[in-house]
Chain A
Amino acid sequence: MYGLINKSVQAFLRDNYGSALWAQVAHRAGIGVEGFEAMLRYDDSLTEHLIDAACAVLDRPRNALLEDIGAHLVTFDTVRRLLRFGGVDYCEFLFSLNELQDRGRMALGDLELPSLFLIRQCGGRFLFEVRGAICGWGAVTAGLLRAMADDYGALALIEDQELAGHGAERVQVLLLDPEFNTDRGFALTAPRSRGAA
């Protein structure tokens, strides 16, 4: 798959724990310390090695780490902005997630984002089914949805419910207050001089 996904993991580790820790993880995973190129393709198994190595070095459970990685994605302005195109408020954003995989393909023809499917919605309760090539996209999604709730200023309880068997995971969002905090804001066109994310 695209290095973009591995590079996000690399960026998460480097930004939060420093270059020395990244070097340790890279060494353990058998990857050069220079890491990944977003637009080059790498073998899927490398992603698994990378996550395993990060869990071992940080001594953290896989799902907790993946949730943090998901939340970290939103700190990249490019990612945040592309996600915010999904809707004016958090509720509309949640509905737009059905299209996430297709939107990813729109940006990059063969980008393998997980498919998200809103299977039930009742009042403020949203239940998503997440399917992806790698086990753990559910946790990444949960982290991302949590960070996006903050971004929209919404108060929501997000729960990653791992589902045995089917290869699908479930994420539940309980939207308590869509206007709990101030929205961080989003202009349809980005300021002209924008630094690289």
Chain B
Amino acid sequence: MTPPAATPQGSVVLSADALGRLMPMFLICDAQGRIDALGPTMKKILGGEAALGALLTSHFTLRVAQTEEGDSPDRVAGTRRRLHLVLRARPEIVLRGSSVELGEGRVLINLTFGIHLAEAVRAFDLTETDFAASDMAIELLYMAEANVAVLGELGALTSRLEMARRTAEAQALSDPLTGLANRRGLDQAIDAEMAALAQGGSAFAVAHLDLDYFKQVNDTLGHAAGDHVLMIVAQRLTRELRRGDIVARTGGDEFLLLLRGGTDEAALRRLGERLIHRLEQPYTFEGKTCQISASIGIAVSLPIEETADHGQQTQRLMEAADRALYAAKRGGRGRCVMAGEIGAG
């Protein structure tokens, strides 16, 4: 290898080969704007030897801010700013670079892929050896890939945490035995309903349901039978109610129902009696049959002001349902009592 000779003027003479090793994406154009020499990577991009002698403008369009002049090689040489050259064959790829005049109208242009690096690597099958050692291209590709990996892990982590959060939330609001809502779940639903009511939403009803003779099932057939009965009770209640209603198990054999389907007292009473009838159907557990009944107290929400204390209203409603339930129990069990009937609420 002959070392580059420095001329007395301080300029450097380099062979095209040596220049290509330093700047694999260089181009030299002659005074007519024809490609005179080019680096190995540029040759790959422009389709090989055939690029030699071709007009620069047959391969590139010059992207400039002001367009009072055309895409002339003079213009390419004249600018001291960054050049942006769009590949005619692949307009999605824009090369960036700068140019210097070599004298006698010849221009040296050095180019690089800016943000279109990954597309270009794919489009022209480029490898590490196609880039100058001083080029940051490989680091950029490495970074992009590392970034995808890290973001992928973070994304997966986020969705796992979200799943865990939802599971925890569902568990915290439901009764593990029956899968019904628990007291907290029901309280949330009633709070929301009460807030909606204050905003002009529909009135609703709350039913307090207590199983009768359930203790005997536990005492005579054991807790497993009791659990089985509770699960069947949950199924029967859910089936009898409308989709928007909520059934919650709030104690051992105690249930609270949020009924959203209207506040007609006669209709609610019929619903309560139907529920009791359903729950009185026999239960079978390991070949043994048992029967229970239920008492229900129902209270209907009263119109409230937007500014009213929702908590207090909820408490009043629950107390009314409790009193109705107590009246039902006292009246001989297996009955449904409306809070309105006992003159309280």
Contact = CB atoms under 8 A, between A and B. Distances in A.
A78 B141 CA distance: 13
B121 interface: yes
A88 B128 contact: yes
B149 A188 contact: no
20 contacts: A37-B160, A39-B157, A40-B157, A78-B145, A78-B149, A82-B145, A82-B149, A85-B141, A85-B142, A87-B128, A88-B129, A106-B143, A107-B146, A107-B150, A188-B128, A189-B118, A189-B121, A190-B145, A196-B152, A196-B156
B142 A39 contact: no
Interface in B90-129: 118, 121-122, 125-129
Contacts of B138: 85, 188
Nearest to A40: B157
A108 interface: yes
Contacts of B177: none
Contacts of B149: 78, 82, 107, 197
A197 B129 CA distance: 27
Interface in A163-183: none
A188 B127 contact: yes
A39 B128 contact: no
A196 B147 CA distance: 14
A39 B122 contact: no
Interface of B: 118, 121-122, 125-129, 138-139, 141-143, 145-147, 149-150, 152-154, 156-157, 160
Given A37-B157, A87-B128, A88-B129, A189 B150 contact: no
A121 to B, nearest CB: 18
A197 B150 CA distance: 12
A189 B153 CA distance: 19
Contacts of B118: 189
A133 B129 CA distance: 35
Given A85-B145, A106-B142, A107-B143, 6 more contacts: A37-B157, A38-B157, A87-B128, A107-B147, A107-B149, A190-B145
B168 to A, nearest CB: 14
Nearest to B153: A38
A49 interface: no
Nearest to B139: A106
Nearest to A79: B149
A115 to B, nearest CB: 18
A28 interface: no
A4 B152 CA distance: 13
Closest 10 CB pairs of A and B: A107-B146, A85-B142, A38-B153, A78-B149, A188-B121, A88-B128, A189-B121, A189-B122, A39-B153, A189-B118
Specify the main secondary structure of chain B where it touches its partner. helix
B126 A188 contact: yes
A39 B154 contact: yes
Nearest to B161: A37
Contacts of A197: 149
Contacts of B122: 189
A78 B125 CA distance: 20
Contacts of A88: 127-129
B21 to A, nearest CB: 15
Interface string A1-45: 000100000000000000000000000000000000111100000
- Among A4, A188, A190, chain B packs the most CB atoms within 10 A around the CB of A188
B157 A188 contact: no
Nearest to A88: B128
Nearest to A92: B128
Contact of A82 (B126, B127, B142, B160): B142
Nearest to A87: B128
Nearest to B130: A188
B34 to A, nearest CB: 31
Contact of A108 (B121, B125, B145, B146): B146
Interface in A32-85: 37-40, 78, 81-82, 85
A197 B149 CA distance: 9
Contacts of B157: 37-40
A81 B145 CA distance: 9
Contacts of B145: 78, 81-82, 85, 190
Contacts of A103: 142
A103 B141 CA distance: 12
